[in-house]
Each structure stands twice: as structure tokens, then as C-alpha cells.
Amino acid sequence: MGQHLKRVVAPKSWGIARKTTKFVMKPSPGPHNINAIPMAVWLRDHIEVARNMKEVKQILRQREVIVNGRACRHADMGIGIFDIIAIPKTGKYYRILRDAKGRHKTISIDSESAQSRLVKITNKTVIKGGKVQLNLRDGSNVLADNSYKAGDTIVLSLKDGEMNKIIDHFPYQIGHMVMVIGGKHSGSIARISELIKVQGSLPNRVILTNEDTGDNFETIDEYVVTIGREKSAVENWGIEE
């Protein structure tokens, strides 16, 4: 059962039924982490375009599912927060977010919104030739200049001819808009009020202000992703499927 795990111990973020079958596919090593949803589970349990694994494999074999601009061919490929998924044959486009309970949420978006994606910078390294490499939260990386910092968010193009070109940049700083993707405030959109550096191994903290209620709340910097400056860069996040 190396490629499977029991449904009852599957990450809660998957948002799947626990008692339908004993086992469920687990994601292969790659994008995101263990909380990433395997493509097969997403197609079958979330958007219900396939009824079983045979149909999943048939869809993927025909390269009908595009993840972040590239065709997905493997049923166990993991997908996660802020990924853009297109199914051109049906004219459907989706963004993966998180809801208030920390579960992955599939949002239907239009084709224009599917032309770019947001991704958080976790750290950066200098590689051969003195080039700066930005290492991103989903496990990918891009080359850039040295003006970007860990914690910032970049917007990558998904258009043909400029794939993964940086087209915008949202610094992680006071006054900017963020989305909370973990903890008890998961799914909230708020503004950064204060950044608190913590000595030692504990994570840095951030004080946020809810734009709707004006209330302040605290979380850790790992749980926030910058999504805009004065306002959210994405006016219409879409409609939940």
C-alpha cells in the first residue's frame, strides 16, 4: 500500500468522506507537501468529473488537465493552495484556496484570472554564475534579481511564451493585504498591522486587521500570503464549486 493511505488518516485539508472506502491515493513527492491533494482525488471527489481511477487515468492520458500551465499526466500529482487548474475541453478554470476550516476549496474562475498565479517566496539562494534563485512555497523556483525577499509574494504569468515570468510583486510589509491559509483564522483576508520578530526557533508573529470587522488578530508568518498592496490583487476570487 505504498501509494495509498487509509481514508480515516488522510489530511483534514482534503475535505473528503472518511468511510466510503478503506484506502485513498496519497500524493507523490513533488509540489506542495503531504497536505497537497492527489489529482485523482480532486477530479473524483471535489469536482466529480471522474467516477473512478480508470476514468481519471483516461482524462490525464489525453492531457485534458492543465496545472499551472503544464499538462498533468500523473494521478498522484499533488495540487495545493493557489494552484491554477484548467480543463480546456470543458472551458472550466479553477483556483485552489483554503476555507475557514483549513480545507482545500475549489473556486471557479474565468479564463483571464487563470492567466497568472500567486506564489510565496520561502527563501532564496545564489547558484552557479552568481544568479539569484527564488525558492517558492509550492516547491518550484525561478531566477530573478536580488530585489525580492523571503515572505514576499510574486505573480507568475501562465501565458504561452512568457511562462513563469514575474509580472508583479507584493512585498511582505505593514499595510499590505494578505490571505491567511492556516490556523483558526484560515481563509481570512486582512491587512498587516504589525510584524513581530521572535528570537530563537519559534516562528515570527504577525498582527492582522480584518477589513470587514476592523478586529485585530494574531497568527504566525507561515500562515499568511501577501495578495496585494492597498487592496487584493484579485477582485473576484470566484464562486465556490
Q: What is the mean predicted confidence (pLDDT) over 200-229? A: 93
Split at pLDDT 50, 70, 90, the class of 34 is low
Query: How confident is the model over 1-14, as pLDDT tens digits?
Result: 457 777 776 777 77
How far is the CA of 85 from the CAs of 23, 38, 175, in angstroms? 25, 13, 30
Q: What is the mean pLDDT of the chain?
A: 88
Cβ atoms 152, 169 nearer than 8 A: yes
| HSE-CB for 133 with a 13 A CA cutoff | 10
Split at pLDDT 50, 70, 90, the class of 63 is very high
Closest CA relative to residue 195, chosen from 149, 232, 133: 149
CATH topology (fold) of 4-111: 3.10.290
Residue spans per domain, the chain: 4-111, 116-170, 177-230
For the domain spanning 116-170, the CATH number is 2.40.50.740
Q: What's the pLDDT score for residue 240?
A: 43
Query: How confident is the model over 183-193, as pLDDT tens digits?
Result: 889 888 999 99
Can you give the pTM of this predicted structure? Answer: 0.88
C-alpha cell at 84: 491554477
Split at pLDDT 50, 70, 90, the class of 149 is very high
Alpha-carbon gap, residue 64 to 45, rounded angstroms: 18
The residue that leads in pLDDT, 195 or 99, is 195
Q: What is the mean predicted confidence (pLDDT) over 77-99? A: 92
Whole-number percent of the chain with pLDDT over 70: 94
Alpha-carbon gap, residue 93 to 238, rounded angstroms: 10
The strand pairing partners of 96, in sequence order, are 106
Q: What's the pLDDT score for residue 129?
A: 87
